[in-house]
Structure formats: structure tokens, C-alpha cells
Chains A and B, each alone.
Chain A
Amino acid sequence: MTVGSPPYRPDGRAWLSAARKVGTSLSVVAITLFGLLVITFVVGRMVPADPVIAIIGDQADQAAYDRVYQELGLDRPLVVQFGTYVRDIATLDFGRSHLSRNEVATDLARVFPATVELATAALLIGTLLGVPLGVVAAVRRGTWIDQVARVVGLVGYSTPIFWLGMIVILIFYAGLGWIPAGNRVGLYYEGLVEGPTGFLVLDAVLAAEWDVAKSALGHLVAPALVLGWANTAYISRMSRSFMLEQLNQEYILTARAKGATNNSVIWRHAFANMRVQLLTVIALAYCGLLDGTVLIETVFGWPGLGQYLTTALFFADMNAVLGAVLLIGLISVGINLLCDVAYRLLDPRTK
């Protein structure tokens, strides 16, 4: 792309070509989804805990055992069992959690918004801190800012996030009393605001319940900052290397030769050209956040998908575990697909 050329806009042919490629990626996604199902199915079958005993307890007699064994379809061939499994998943039937006694799908729908709220807040923090840090580090390559960015990146990559969470609780809850303990909102405010988005802070603001919003925000800040820390590291590192790559291109030299100011070169030219890559990285960071939420929700008592997963794990509630794992896998695949599509549409070089 040369300086002064009009910004790229996808035309009809680009859409067609993109659509064809999306078709290909969709078939890839279908295969990947199938693979996900195979993995969760196999994991479910490998479990040492007997699913029948998990349901009826170890005091039941042989007849009851056999009956449940057949009800679960465990006497049928594995292939048939897998077929049943796929059919159940396709109709959003993840089975019943024997811990909560609910349908796993219902449970997942209940806990999921909390995780999305937390992960989104963390992503915002990571992006708002990481992108400028990375860009500045690239522009001032070799200076102290670059060194700071490098150290932040490496330490951020190396921090055990569950430990950082505990240290934050130790200092800011126990020591300073700045942050509240556990859950999404103070005890008094619980259940005051319901829906429509499931993001408590947003819902409370929409309902003009300012006290609830304040309390919810207070609960959100600490876990989001801890999660955002690791994220900042990743995003700033990637931003730095994208920016460096752009700054080494000849068009930058041309722009400078034409007398463009430093700011204009960095933001209007170089940054404009790394936006697509950056978008991909941020989307992938979101997938990585799902990993982090499992640990952080457990540490902070945040009632989301991660805590649901670890609690289910603790009580060997396999339907719930597999449902949660599958959901996380599906989200990752979905995000990857969206990235792919966005990349194809926004980057003219992939035409």
C-alpha cells in the first residue's frame, strides 16, 4: 500500500472470494467441532469414576445398577453412544448436573454472562494498556520505555495468575480494605437487578440502580485487573513487534521524506496498517482469557463458568465439566473463525 492511496474497501469480487474462503473455513470448523466432540466424548469415557454409581450411589443393588446402566446407554457400542452424544449436544442437551440437579445447559446459561463480563473487562484493560505500551516501545526502540515494556511483557508472561490474585486479595482486601471479598456484588444488592444483558454493571446502570452498579464495579475491578495484567503483557508484546515490522517498511521512509510528522507517520500510516493483525491478536487474547478465568474465578469467588467448572471438577460432576469444557472449546473455535473472516475481509493482501 503506497502513501496517499485511498483506504482499502472490499468490493464485490472481494466479497465473493471471501465468501468462497469462508466456505472452506466453515468445513474446517465443522471438522474441528467434530474433533472437539470426540475429545470430550473420549474424556467422558475415560473417567475413572463410574457414572452409574455417581447417580445411584454405591449402596444400590445390582438390579438398580443394571437398569441405570442401560438407561445411560452404556451397554451399547461406543459408536452408537457417540452418535447419541452428538445428537444430544446438537439439541443443547448436555445432560444433568448431579451437583446442582439442573440441566447443565441451564447452569451454563446462568454462569456464562459473569465470565463474559469479567473477560471483557480484562480485555479492555489489556488493550488500553497493552497497545499504547507496545507502540511506544517500538517507536522508542532501545530506550528505557522499551526496556520497561520488555520486562512488563516477560514478567506478565511468567506470573502464575492464581497467585497474583491471592496476593492482590492479601494486600488490597486484608491489608488495605480497598476491595470487597468474593462474588459479583455486595450481599445486600444481590438479586436486585436481573437481565437483560447479564452483565451486572451494565444492567445496573441501565436500571439506574447506582448503588448496585457501584458495588458490582467494585467487585469487578480486582479480578479484571489481575486477568488484564497477563493480557497486557501479551498484547503489548505483539503490538511492539507489529509496529516494528511496519516501521521498517519503505513506505514509512517515503512518508517521512514527504515531511509527514512523526505522529502522523506512526498513527495514520503504520498503525493503520497493523490494525488487522492487532484485531486478530486481541481476539486470540480473548480465547486465552478463558483459561485465566478458570483460575481467577476460583480465587476471587466469581460465580462464572470457571468457578462452575472447578467446582464440578472437585465433585466429579462430569456432565457439568464436559459441558463447560465443550462450551469453552466452542467459543474458541467461534472466535478463531470470526478472526479468519475478518482478516480475509479487511486485509487486501489475502485476496
Chain B
Amino acid sequence: MTDASQNPGRRGLRAWLVEEDVTSHRQAVAQGAYRGLVGLTSSPIAVIGLVIVILLVLAAAFAPWIATHDPYRQDLSRTLLPPSAANWMGTDDLGRDVWSRLVYGSRTTLYITMLVTVIVAPIGFLIGAVSGYVGGWLDTVLMRLTDIFLAFPSLVLALAFSAALGPGIGNAVLAIALTIWPPVARLARAETLTVRGSDYLASARLQGAGLGRVLWWHLVPICLPSIIVRLTLNMASVILTAAGLGFLGLGAQPPIAEWGAMAAAGRQYLIDAWWLTTFPGLAILLVSLAFNLLGDGLRDVLDPRSG
């Protein structure tokens, strides 16, 4: 962030971030990000969400150090033990440590949500922005397509796709992505329509900007804030759908640690071993709540229009 020509170090970084005479593009971007951060941290709810999400990322990154046992190591002499000092959250039906599997499960959850987001954001944006910007029959066709996917309740559609593609983590990601893109496309289209007739887009066109250039340089910045909010809120539903698929045996396959599948595996021991179901479910609830809180806070910061 330090720039020799601006030399923020001399006047202090904070002053550089809040001063009114903005002298460079870089400074303007930095100031925007700074204001966003200040706004976000002023909402306690969003901060709680952010902290939990950061903890999740840390748990995933440092899983080998945080876990107390090998999550895959079976010990049939120590099955279904209740929580104790040795096994903080007890052991499962194969004698594996539930806490360690929960920690490693954060990797699966993060992997699924990140991958879905990375797939859905560009596709949703592209379909929505092209639809809104180009208009005409293309708009009609793309929006009808969106409607068709929206017509299905998302879990049922994801379920059908997973059934067709076969169980597995990659297929679950694809199936969820297929059900998540329509709202993003709708949003990108709506945002695009608000600026479609604007003078600055006309001037860009007159200067010879093609579709690609308009999309990347003029429409991405317009659509990005609301898409980020939408995707953050979506992550909660991605996590729930992934857990639901895992619960039905269509997500990550054993022995991979996945929270939904762990909760499902505990179902047959529900009454004798409450810890098998309770802890993975709490983890899902906590993380999905965190994304909802963060998304709520982000909306206030990035997208004041939708209050």
C-alpha cells in the first residue's frame, strides 16, 4: 500500500487513508476499502460473524496442529466414548476422535463454499450483465433459463443433479453451483439495467469499447458490491445445502470428514451417543450463522440502497 510518490509513511497511514485530497487511483481504492472496514467493524453483529469466519479459516489452515488425534485413525477398542479429557467431543462408531474430525471437516466446508463461489460469481455475473446490457431476445432467452432453474426448490434440484452425477464432493459442488447461480444472474442484470442508458457507458461505446471491455471495466465495479453481499449470504445456504446432501449420502464420501455426513452417521446412534450428531450440527449452525451475520453487516456497508 505504501507508494513512494505519495509517501504515506511520513504523514502516517491513517491520515493518508482519510485525507480529503485524493491524489491517486490507488489512494481512492485504499480509502474505499478503509471506510468499508471501519463501517463493518462498527457493527457488532458483523464483527462476530467475521471472527467466526476467520476462526473457520484458521481451523482449516492449521487443522493438523489444532486436532488432537488423527481424524482417520480408527480404534475399535474405543468406539462411541462420551466426551472426556482425552476425546473432547467423544469418539464415533469407528473409534475416531469427533473433535479432530470436526476440525478437519472445516476444510471440506471451506473447500465446498469457496469452490461454489468461484464458479458461481463469474457465471452469474456474465449471464446477468450480458442479459441486461445486450437486451433483446438474448435477454429473454437468458432470463427464461434463469427462471427455469429458479422454479425448482434448490435442494431438490441439487439432489437430482447429484443423483445423476453420482455422489462425491466435486459433483456436490457442481450440483450446488447449478442451483445457486440464478439469483446472482438476476442481481447482476438488475444492477446493469440501472446504468444501461447512462452517459458514461455511451461515451465508452463511442470510444470503441467492445462488450468485453464494457463488462470488465464498467459493469464489474457496478455489480460487485451487491454480488459480494449476495454471495456471502449465499454461503450460508451453500453450507446448509452441502450439509443436506452430505446427510443424504450424496456429498463427500467416507472417510472424508464432512459435517453433514458426520451428523448423518450419528443418526443410528442418536439415543446412545448424542455427541455424534450434536457437535457437527452445531458446527454447521455456527458457521452458517457467521456467514449470515457477515453478509448482513456487509450489506449495510457495501449496499446501502437495499437497507
Contacts and interface: CB of A to CB of B under 8 A. Distances in A.
Interface stretch (B65-73, B148-156, B196-204, B219-227): B148-156
Contacts of B263: 160, 162-163, 166
B145 A298 contact: no
A163 B285 contact: yes
B144 A28 contact: yes
A40 interface: yes
Contact of B155 (A32, A157, A291): A291
Interface stretch (B28-36, B91-99, B286-294): B286-294
B127 to A, nearest CB: 15
Of B151, B247, B289, B292, the most chain A CB neighbours within 10 A belong to B151
Interface stretch (B17-25, B129-137, B160-168, B184-192): B160-168
A202 interface: no
A288 B244 CA distance: 14
B153 A291 contact: yes
Nearest to B242: A160
A310 B267 CA distance: 15
B231 interface: no
Contact of A170 (B148, B248, B277): B277
Contact of A321 (B153, B155, B163, B166): B163
Contacts of A42: 164
Given A154-B293, A167-B277, A159 B285 contact: yes
Nearest to A154: B292
A40 B274 contact: no
Interface residues of B, number: 46
A167 B278 contact: yes
Contacts of A310: 248
Interface stretch (A75-83, A91-99, A216-224, A322-330): A322-330
Contact of B260 (A36, A47, A160, A328): A160
A191 B244 CA distance: 32
Interface in A191-209: none
A290 B157 CA distance: 11
A303 interface: no
Contact of B248 (A291, A298, A328, A336): A298
Contacts of B236: 157-158
B270 interface: yes
B281 A174 contact: no
Interface size class of A (residues with CB under 8 A): 35 or more
Contact of A154 (B247, B248, B271, B289): B289
B249 interface: yes
Looking at chain A's contact residues, the main secondary structure is helix
B284 A328 contact: no
A295 interface: yes
A287 B284 contact: no
A32 B281 CA distance: 36
Contacts of A325: 152, 156-157, 159-160
A339 interface: no
A47 B270 contact: no
Interface in B253-274: 260, 263-264, 266-267, 270-271, 274
A32 B163 contact: no
Interface in A324-349: 325, 328-329, 332-333, 336
A104 to B, nearest CB: 14
B243 A332 contact: no
B151 A336 contact: yes
B153 A332 contact: yes
B26 to A, nearest CB: 37
Contact of B152 (A159, A313, A328): A328
Given A43-B161, A160-B243, A163-B263, 7 more contacts: A36-B152, A39-B152, A154-B292, A160-B240, A162-B263, A162-B264, A287-B153
7 pairs of A and B residues whose beta carbons are closest in the complex = A35-B148, A163-B281, A158-B289, A291-B153, A46-B164, A158-B288, A43-B164
Interface of A: 28, 31-32, 35-36, 39-40, 42-44, 46-48, 154-155, 157-164, 166-167, 169-170, 174, 287-288, 290-291, 294-295, 298-299, 309-310, 313-314, 316, 318, 321-322, 325, 328-329, 332-333, 336
